[in-house]
Amino acid sequence: MDERDILFEFSHPERLRILELLKKEELKLSSISNKLSITTAEVSRHLERLTNVKVIEKSSNGEYFISMFGTIVLNQISNINYLNENRDFFLKHDLQSLPSSITCFKALSRSKVKNGTLDNVGLIKEVIERAEKYLHVISNQESRLFKEAILETAERGIEVTRIYSKPEVIPEEIKKAKNIDVRIIDDIHFDMGVSDIMGGLTLPNTLGVMDYEQIFVGDDAVFITWLNNIVKYCKSKSRPI
C-alpha cells in the first residue's frame, strides 16, 4: 500500500460521508445504509475498501469504527481539506517561509483569514495593545504605529521580545527600552506577533512581499501556543544585540 491507495479512498463523496458518520459513532452496515440512503451493497463495497486501507475496522459485534491508523490519516486528510477550502489564500502565499519542523496546518486552521489591509493593521495593533503577560513580535518592518504601541506595552511592564533580521532597522527607542529583549536572527520571511490574549501571522505573497491584505488572526489556545513555538524556534536561533 502507498499514498496513492490512501488518497484514492478519499476521492469518493459517499466514502467521505461514511467517514463523517463514523467519526461521530460506531455503526453497523445497515444503519449507515439507512442514514445515508445508499444501498447496503454499495455501503458494503465502500466499507470493504476503507477496511483494506486500514482506515476503519469492524468490531466483534459488527460495528465499524475508525482505527487508530485511520485517526492519524484523517487528521492529515483534514489538512488537505483545509488547504482546499482556503485555496485562494494558499495559491497566493508562500508557506515554505515558515520553519518546516513547525508548520502545522492544524494549528493554522484554528485561526481566521482576515481581509483588508487597514483592518488588519488594526488587528495587529490590538495584538500588541491587549497583551497582559507577554508579547513577542518577529518582523523586519518597523512602522511608527507598531513601534509606539510596542513601547507603550513595554512601559506597562509587560515582557516584550522583539526579533529582527536587519540590525539597521532597529530604532534607538526600542534598543533602549526597559522590558524589551531585542534579538537578531539571520533570516525572517514572515511577520508575526503573539501575546497571551491573541496572535497574528502575515506571510509573503508569491513575489516575496509581506501581504497585509490577508493575514491569520486568532485567540484560539492551539493557535497561540503554536505561534509561541515559532517564537521559541526563532529565539533559539537568535542572539541579543
Partner 1 sequence: MEFHELMFELSHKERLNIIDILSKGSQRLSAISRQLEITTAEVSRHLDRLVKADVVLKRTTGNYTLTPFGLDLLMEIENIAFLANKLDYFSAHDISMIPLELQNLKVMQKGRVMTGTLQNMSLMKETVDIAEEFIYVVTNQVSNTLVENQRKKADMGVEIVKVYPMTEVIPDSIIGHKNIRLYKKEGEINCSIGVTEKRCILALPKANGSLDFENILVGEDPEFIEWSKMVVESYVKDADKEVS
- Judged by the rule CB under 8 A, the positions of this chain that interact with partner 1 are 1-8, 10-13, 16, 54, 67-69, 71-73, 75-77, 79-81, 83-85, 87, 90-96, 100-107, 206, 222-223, 225-226, 229, 232-233, 236
Q: Are 164 and 184 in contact (CB under 8 A)?
A: yes
Q: Are 169 and 142 in contact (CB under 8 A)?
A: yes
Q: How far is the CB of 205 from partner 1 (least distance, A)?
A: 9
Calpha distance 158→149 (Å, rounded): 12
Q: Hey, CA dihedral for 31, 70, 109, 210, is it positive or negative?
A: negative
| Burial degree of 203 (CB within 10 A; 0-12, 13-18, 19+) | buried
Residue placing its CB nearer to partner 1 in the complex, 5 or 155? 5
Could you give the C-alpha distances from 173 to 146, 210, 218, in angstroms and in order? Answer: 13, 24, 29
Residue placing its CB nearer to partner 1 in the complex, 8 or 40? 8
Q: How far is the CB of 147 from partner 1 (least distance, A)?
A: 29
Residue placing its CB nearer to partner 1 in the complex, 146 or 190? 190
Residue placing its CB nearer to partner 1 in the complex, 90 or 171? 90
Q: How far is the CB of 49 from partner 1 (least distance, A)?
A: 12
Q: How far is the CB of 11 from partner 1 (least distance, A)?
A: 4
Q: How far is the CB of 215 from partner 1 (least distance, A)?
A: 16
Q: What are phi and psi of 48, to 5 degrees?
A: -65, -45
Please tell me what DSSP assigns to residue 238: -
The helix (H) or strand (E) run that includes residue 217 is strand 214-218
Calpha distance 156→8 (Å, rounded): 55
Q: How far is the CB of 240 from partner 1 (least distance, A)?
A: 19
